[in-house]
Structure 1
């Protein structure tokens, strides 16, 4: 009987140790990154022909332009601004390969801060609604460095009506990911506590059984 209890205790402790090791070491596989846009086409005031930027030749410019129209960076505006207050207009078409997928109208010199307009009619025929958004204050300088003929401006790093560049990286602003990690750590801690309690209980049971056998 004593040998059986010892063997059971050893097997239980070993199984719990393996379980805890797998929970501690194993990490969920990261999601596959989305393929970046292949490029953007820009047309508008002062451009005799479309400005065609491709990721393979101008990756930084393409990323900067796409960031200006990213849904995560846009804040929707109630109502429509007055046309006279918008200033020069630049249409940005985002491409996937050679296929146009999205289009936006950018107004970097709008009174009160840059504006972005999303037309209801999109190149990929997806259903959406026309909407105005507050743009980033860096819009004018981003377009200028990409090749749009705009005067140089000195925008602030952050703040402004249209919002600025984020000082904290976009990846760091992910509360869902932080919450999942917190729950994962809590689960591992609870399982560790349960395992410790079971090991102690089995140890005490084994000691009690040995004492009982010797006192008979």
Structure 2
């Protein structure tokens, strides 16, 4: 009788374990992240001392293009960080339009020479129909002026803000997603959610197994 009870306990725990493992395998798939948006294909720059429109795309170098994108794309969903500075403290304005083929996606205004450090503005009015964002001002990256300069904007060289020192180039060979803090946080939260799902499923297996053993033992007693 005891041997039969042990077999039933093992069978019950095994069935529960299999069900839990199936749940572990299915849950992350069911909550898979949505398909990422298409990557921009070019960036248009207009502003002071630029004749016409300056266009930067991957044919100018993937490293340069990704670095230029990284200067602005993090602001797409970010919360504004500061108020609008006085107009006479902003310096020259350069308007960047992020393009997807021939369709403009987002517009940003950059002020690399603003007093107190670079500033960036995200206008509430955006080119995508039906898309509205909160008008906001941000502290720009210290690399803003040098990134714009190597993209073709006539600005004075600032090798002191470029990783690697004089002649070191613009940082490391990273893509825009790796430099985007919003994307980094989303990826981290996604990984943590999957980890919690796995740990939760393991605890469920253990709890059901112990409950099954206790129930069968009580029946025999």
TM surpasses 0.5 = yes
Q: Deviations over 1:62-86 (max 9, x none)?
A: 3222222222695624432122211
- Please name the residue that 1:35 is paired with: 38
- Please name the residue that 1:149 is paired with: 154
2:213 and 2:63 map into 1 onto residues whose CA distance is 58
- Please name the residue that 1:173 is paired with: 185
Q: CA deviation at 1:95?
A: 0.8
Pair 2,182 (structure 1): closer, same or farther in 2 beyond 3 Å = closer
2:105 to 101, 122, 128: 101
1:15-94 maps to which residues of 2 (within 5 A)? 15-23=15-23, 28-29=28-29, 30-31=32-33, 32-55=35-58, 58-69=61-72, 70-71=74-75, 76-94=80-98
1:73 and 1:205 map into 2 onto residues whose CA distance is 58
Q: CA deviation at 1:183?
A: 2.9
Pair 185,13 (structure 1): closer, same or farther in 2 beyond 3 Å = closer
Q: Structure 2 regions of 5+ residues with no counterpart?
A: 164-170, 172-177
1:138 and 1:204 map into 2 onto residues whose CA distance is 69
- TM-score relative to the length of structure 2: 0.72
Corresponding residue SS for 2:28 = coil
Pair 67,74 (structure 1): closer, same or farther in 2 beyond 3 Å = farther
Pair 42,201 (structure 1): closer, same or farther in 2 beyond 3 Å = same
State whether residues 108 and 121 of structure 2, in contact with CA within 8 Å, keep that contact through their aligned partners in structure 1: yes
Q: Structure 1 regions of 5+ residues with no counterpart?
A: 158-164, 210-216
Range with bigger deviation, 192-201 or 171-180: 171-180
Q: CA deviation at 1:194?
A: 1.1
- TM-score relative to the length of structure 1: 0.73
- Please name the residue that 1:212 is paired with: none
Pair 177,58 (structure 1): closer, same or farther in 2 beyond 3 Å = same
2:210 to 197, 201, 204: 197
Corresponding residue SS for 2:107 = strand
Residues matched between the structures, number: 200
Task: Give 1 or 2: higher helix fraction.
Answer: 2
Q: Which has the larger radius of gyration?
A: 1
